Amino acid sequence: MCPNCPACGQHFDREPQGGYWVGSYTINLMVTEATLAAVFVATLFLTWPTPPWDLLMYEEVGIALTLPVLIYPFTKTLFIAIDLTFRPDEPEDFQEPREAGFKRRLGAGS
């Protein structure tokens, strides 16, 4: 995921000391756990009285491994939207990216 919004330049990491990923990680974890529980209960409900335990195990492991990776950009964007609701934009949010090594990468080719 890019460090800034390509349209407006808003930083996706609004804290200069880092650690902003905790909010998006929490949303990601909650969505993943809710999905795992819903799939587990739905599979049990649809296949009762003889649930396919092996299929259930493989499908849950597959979801647990792929879903967090697939939804990470969306949970990060959702968390920045929640954060912007409670803490409005500041001028520092639109300055050049603060990521380590960003200037070195830009200057290396020129």
How sure is the predictor about 45, in pLDDT bands with cuts at 50, 70 and 90?
very high
Q: Looking at the 3D structure of the chain, how many domains does it have?
A: 1
Asked whether residue 37 is assigned to any structural domain, the reply reads yes
Predicted local distance difference test score (pLDDT) of residue 87? 80
Asked whether residue 57 is assigned to any structural domain, the reply reads yes
% of the chain at pLDDT higher than 90 = 45
Asked whether residue 102 is assigned to any structural domain, the reply reads no
Asked whether residue 73 is assigned to any structural domain, the reply reads yes
Asked whether residue 44 is assigned to any structural domain, the reply reads yes
Asked whether residue 10 is assigned to any structural domain, the reply reads no
Asked whether residue 4 is assigned to any structural domain, the reply reads no
User: Which structural domain, as residue segments, surrounds residue 66?
Assistant: 21-85
From CA 29, how far away is CA 64, in angstroms rounded? 10
Q: What is the pLDDT of residues 52-74, one digit of tens each?
A: 999 999 999 999 999 999 999 89
Residue with tokens 């090594």: 101
DSSP for 51-98, written as a single string: --HHHHHHHHHHHHHHHHHHHHHHHHHHHHHHHHHHS---GGGGSS--
